[in-house]
Amino acid sequence: MPDQSERSGSRPWYRILRLPLPLIVGAVLVGAFLIVALLSYVWTPHDPLKLVVPDRLLPPGSRDYLFGTDKFGRDVLSQLMAGARNSLYVSLLSTSVAILVGALLGLLTAGAGPLWRNVLSRLIDVGVALPGILIALVLATSTGPGNQAAIAAITFWFIPIAARVTIGPARQILALDFVEAAYAYGRTKWYVLLHHVTPNIAPLLIVLGSVMFAAAILIEAALAFLGIGAQPPTASWGRLLQESQPLLEAAPTLMFFPGAAIVLTVLGFNLLGDGLRTVLDPQQASRSGLI
Amino acid sequence: MRNLYKKTRLGLVLVALALVAVACGSDDAEETTTTAPVAPVTQAPTTTEAAPATTEAPPAEDPRGTTVTWSYTQEPPNWDYRETGLTAVTAPLLLNVWETLIRIEADGSPVPLLAESWEVSDDGLTVTFNLREGVVFHDGSEFTSADVVYSMNANGQASVDRTASPYNAVTAVEAVDENTVEVTLGAPSLTFVNTMGDRAGIMVPEDFFENNDAATTVIGTGPYMLTEYRIDQDLTMTRFEDYWGEKPYFETAIQRFIPDETAAINALLGGEIDMVASVIAEGMDRVFAVSGENDGIELVLIPGTEVSYWLLDTNVEEFQDILVRQAIQHGHNRQSHIDAATAGTATPSCSMAVPSGIAWDSDYCPYPYDPERAVALLAEAGYGPGELVLDFPFANVAWHTVMAQVFQAEMAEIGITINLRSLDLATWLDQVNTQGQYQIFQITSGAPLTNYRCDRNRQPFGRGNQAFCDEQMDTRIDAIEVIADYDEYVAAQRELHDYVADQGWIFATKKPNVPVLYRSDLAGIKQHRLPDIHIYAGDLYWADS
Amino acid sequence: MKGGPPHSAFGSRYGEAVYAGEDAAAQCRETPLARVIARSVLSLALAAVVGSLVVFVLLRSIGGDVAHIILGQYATPGALEALQEELGLNAPWYVQYRDWLGGVFTGDLGTSYSARFDIFDEIMRRLGPTTMLAFGSLLISIPAALAFGTFSAIQVKKLRGGVVDVASQIGIAIPAFWAGLIMVLVFGIRLGWFPTGGYVSPFEDLIEAVRGLVMPTLALSLGITSVLTRYVRSAMLDVMGEDFIRTAMAKGRTRRGAARVHGVRNASVSLVTVGTLQLGALMAGTVVIENVFVIPGIGRLLVTSVLGREVIVVQSLILVILLLILVMNFLMDIAYVLIDPRIRDRQGGRAIA
């Protein structure tokens, strides 16, 4: 939705720069997340999987262990970094596949004739109506618990949504004058979809990607928390939270760090999405009422 | 003011809508079935005993009430002990609702329960049980030798190995008179009488399985009747006023199903339950902190009756070299497993003898933790770091997950790569436990070593695929099973256990002790020596009452 | 988990009416309700069949069936085979599915394999706690979102409005289960104000029932309130620029007053839409929250049935859940008309614009 202030012309309190504040804060948080996640591939303070059982449950600030250790004597900071990597991996893969497939499906539906459009729309509706958590549970069981189950679940959860979001704007653009002109010029429908519609819905998809990425992180954490996502010894924020539960007396900080990491990252992606929406195409976004 | 009024009215509309939605939600769904020609089964999934309600003198007034509530992590799929092998079936019901012919004391000795006494003939082939008189089932019928004959025959046909296998040696069960039953064995069995204190000795009324759905109905002779079972919630047992023995202190005993041990301990801390009956998984990490920080909470560690151990697939080529088997054990740090998986509550053990302290238990440990030696042995066997890669599927429940990770890490230390495969319980039971799709197998069980014969008709523990089979061990087991003299039997068992330890195909890690957390004014908690952890409500009372 | 779309109504029906375009709007005018209803019934019936079939095939194709769970670690191959035969698990998958589907049409969802409960009765029993949790959350979220969202929109240029805005963003980012865990720690254990888990029926003990629902409901509604707050805010901001507000202001109303009158109504419409769309997320949230707080609802039945390979229970749950969504859709259609009879025209107008 647009910022009202843009219409009224005055700036709200948070507009310090030309860019909206949410975009800046979001970009900083997302950037930090990406740096930590990518850094963890090459460097972590300790090996996140290295067990030093005699060093178990050290409090934060202990020698060598800035954030303390878990019940296996693993370094919490390293685990958090590896967890960021896992979130990035699962969310990026599932979100990008879902958006690519979903958008393609949406474009096909929008461009199809009345009969196929109706059939495909109904099928997409069916996909949207199926509760995602159900799909996730069943997929996790059938593929065996693990990251691959989480990725499959989130992808299938998001595809119909991405498709549904695409159909409307795509059809709207197809109905515009310049599309008529393109047809008159002898362009095929597919040419129009590819060269006129796709670039126009790209901003929408970018915003959608950011928001879906945030949701994917939350879902990944929840699936890992329920024991059907990332499996040990893979470090995942949700799994770290689950493992911290029984240690709430012995090591209360274990519960704090992964939760805070999730909140900051999700917040970052949502703010980024918000900011992008304002910057990229407020008109479009406001018209859609979707995101 | 008017604006405010409008807003409120709108809110009310929304609230009303939500309420309508609730009502409509269920109405609509209900119609779907009630209009159908076939009426749905209206029987609620509860188990109700048809026992006469007896009036008793009012119980002693105690502000703490006449109900004891404990939590238990597991809920069985159903209550048919012949069909459902899980501990969760017997944990609340054995001794409380069902009674067995005999009872096993904490020191392992059998004492009378439904059988007042028993005699074993000199040749060891005939066991005569003299039954207690005046015992009544919860359905009002009298307990006689006919019920024993029926129960023994029914138990012998059970799907669950632990219920049926003791009857493998039995050739005939006869009622001599109203209160005497004679059991004839094909070969002498020193263990038969003791198994009558477990599932195999559960006594039900004659024709019980024909007349009832054993999945939902439970009838026994115990001090409590099962009065209500709410799936995923709780199980309520009510004092049986016609019980033959001393009546229990608590009028009502409730077991709440709390699958998550963190939530269970939270419930105890919040005063919602009186006891966490057994902590076997992630809750271990909390037991010392919780009992140490709270004056009102006590901790007791009950010696377990199981052993956590590992099996190496006898078909894997690399394992044929005993050096590799020895190396794996030398690289295996038992104390690390105990610390990480059980917060230090378990006892390290290299012996497979169960329960711990049994006559052939020993601290013989041929291959103690020595990673340097492990590396040397592997080199001797021809494997450099990373050259040995093994498949280890584990069930992602309880402490298996923790032990799997510790094992992977300690094997990495000596240069063996372990590929962990995390499976949910159902998949693990099928693929690993039944089909034997593993190279390394880990389990915690109370089954004796004598269960491990390759050729045995009943094949527990993943031998459907012959993943484990040691024929030399079989020969020893065969020899043991026909020994009639107790001392000779013990000696042979010890020899078998030492042989198994030396071979290194099967190796133990720990014998878990079961932490029980309870409010400090609950008294009487004691251990009953059964292969299953279980809670006998008849023992319990409020302290100082 | 605030699964599914976060603060967004992907797939909004509102949005769809806008975009599904001219013909949809035209259809609406010709056959206002009947067609819409027929269409959603058809969609959901299709969803139920497709969903249950997919679940059935997936769950049947993987290792481990309910017989393994029943017999446990001591199972013998012979006993397993006998039990699989007895339960009918050896029949071809299409026979099993057909039998279940046939049962659905005669109103009999069947009996669970292992616990032998009547599936319909059990689902009805589980609906109680879940609906209380879900609707309890909506009861908190909707008024709270209206209040916060309106406040934030009116104060859009002030720090106060911004604080609400930021708070709602953070609320969206907090995983419901984490909020639940912290609440249990603080209010359940440290302070002892509320039970740490479990469920008491309100018919047994109303006060205990409410006490028990406070924490799970709050944990669940945190995310939803935040999402809805952002919707209300957007809707209010949208309306405040419209002509009729200017007219109202010209008639002497203050901007704030005008916004309250017209904005709240507008916001309510979008709330109704979003409320329906949040059902999926709500469902996901209840699964996790029921697990954190040990509440015997639909969500836990779903998890245990999947893990226990109770295939027909999972299928039946899908059916019931979709039925509920259907009912909710009907109710929302009615709510549209109740709140703003002009809504349909306005949508049509927008679509053409």
pLDDT, residue B239, reads 96
Asked if residue B283 has pLDDT above 50, the reply is: yes
Who among C63, C139, C324 is closest to B18 (CB)?
A: C139
CA distances from B49 to B155, B219, B222, C94 (A): 22, 7, 13, 39
Mean pLDDT taken over chain B: 82
Q: Which amino acid is it at A233?
A: P
In angstroms, the CA B437 to CA C74 distance is 16
Asked if residue C277 has pLDDT above 70, the reply is: no
- Degrees to nearest 5, angle at CA C233 with C227 and C234: 95
C330 CA: distance to closest CA in chain B (Å): 10
pLDDT, residue B380, reads 95
Chains touching chain B through at least 3 C-beta pairs below 8 angstroms are A, C
**Could B459 and C76 be called an inter-chain contact, meaning their C-beta atoms sit closer than 8 Å?**
yes
pLDDT above 70 as % of chain B: 84
Q: Which is more confidently placed, B426 or B383?
A: B383
Asked if residue B462 has pLDDT above 80, the reply is: no
**pLDDT, average across residues A250-264:** 90
- The predicted-structure confidence for C297-307, as pLDDT tens digits, reads as follows 888 888 888 77
Q: Which amino acid is it at B384?
A: G
Asked if residue C64 has pLDDT above 80, the reply is: no
Asked if residue B463 has pLDDT above 60, the reply is: no
Q: What is the DSSP code (8-state) at residue A62?
A: B
Phi, psi at residue C174, to the nearest 5°?
Answer: -85, 120
Using a cut of 0.90, tell me whether the model's pTM lies above it. no
Asked if residue B36 has pLDDT above 60, the reply is: no
Question: Among B261, B301, B204, B235, which residue's Cα sits nearest to residue B88?
Answer: B235
- The predicted-structure confidence for B356-374, as pLDDT tens digits, reads as follows 778 888 889 999 999 999 9
**Could A51 and B396 be called an inter-chain contact, meaning their C-beta atoms sit closer than 8 Å?**
no
B101 CA: distance to closest CA in chain A (Å): 40
Query: Does residue A72 belong to the interface with chain B, where contact is any CB pair within 8 Å?
Result: yes
Q: Which is more confidently placed, C36 or A93?
A: A93
Residues with Cβ within 8 Å of C145's Cβ and at least 6 positions away in sequence, in order, are C224, C225, C227, C228, C229, C231, C232, C271
Asked if residue A129 has pLDDT above 90, the reply is: no
Who among C61, C270, C322 is closest to A142 (CB)?
A: C61
pLDDT, residue B134, reads 93
Q: Is residue A162 helix, strand or coil? A: helix
To which residue do tokens 């009558």 refer? B196
pLDDT confidence tier of residue A123, bands split at 50, 70 and 90: confident
Listed range (A90-99, B81-90, C276-285) with the worst mean pLDDT: C276-285
In angstroms, the CA B307 to CA B346 distance is 10
Listed range (B70-79, B265-274, B477-486) with the worst mean pLDDT: B477-486
- The predicted-structure confidence for C108-125, as pLDDT tens digits, reads as follows 777 877 777 888 888 888
- The predicted-structure confidence for B60-90, as pLDDT tens digits, reads as follows 567 888 999 999 988 887 899 998 877 888 8
In angstroms, the CA A188 to CA A183 distance is 7
pLDDT above 90 as % of chain C: 7
Which residues of chain A have a CB within 8 Å of the CB of B289?
Answer: 249-250
Edge-first strand order for the sheet with B234-239 is: B224-230, B234-239, B252-257, B67-72, B275-276, B513-519, B297-303
Which residues of chain C have a CB within 8 Å of the CB of A12?
Answer: 156-157, 162
Asked if residue B184 has pLDDT above 90, the reply is: yes
Q: What is the DSSP code (8-state) at residue B42?
A: -
Indicate the burial class of A255 (C-beta count within 10 angstroms; 0-12, 13-18, 19 or more).
Answer: buried
* Chain C interface test: which of B159, B160, B228, B454 (most C C-beta within 10 Å): B159
A132 CA: distance to closest CA in chain C (Å): 7
pLDDT confidence tier of residue A284, bands split at 50, 70 and 90: very low
Structure tokens at B315: 């078909």
C204 CA: distance to closest CA in chain A (Å): 30
pLDDT, residue A144, reads 74
- The predicted-structure confidence for B370-423, as pLDDT tens digits, reads as follows 999 999 999 999 999 999 999 999 988 778 888 999 999 999 999 999 999 888
Q: Which is more confidently placed, A245 or B500?
A: B500
pLDDT confidence tier of residue C218, bands split at 50, 70 and 90: very high
**Could A233 and B405 be called an inter-chain contact, meaning their C-beta atoms sit closer than 8 Å?**
yes
pLDDT above 90 as % of chain B: 45
pLDDT confidence tier of residue C275, bands split at 50, 70 and 90: low
Asked if residue B15 has pLDDT above 60, the reply is: no
**Could B232 and C300 be called an inter-chain contact, meaning their C-beta atoms sit closer than 8 Å?**
yes
**Could C300 and B233 be called an inter-chain contact, meaning their C-beta atoms sit closer than 8 Å?**
no
Phi, psi at residue C351, to the nearest 5°?
Answer: -65, -35
* Chain A interface test: which of C66, C178, C291 (most A C-beta within 10 Å): C178
- The predicted-structure confidence for C165-206, as pLDDT tens digits, reads as follows 889 989 999 999 999 989 988 888 788 888 888 888 888 888
Which residues of chain B have a CB within 8 Å of the CB of A144?
Answer: 421-424, 427
pLDDT confidence tier of residue C255, bands split at 50, 70 and 90: low
**Could B78 and C69 be called an inter-chain contact, meaning their C-beta atoms sit closer than 8 Å?**
no
User: Residue B523 in contact with residue B302, Cβ under 8 Å?
Assistant: no
To which residue do tokens 């045995």 refer? B456
pLDDT above 90 as % of chain A: 31
pLDDT, residue B30, reads 30
pLDDT, residue B46, reads 36
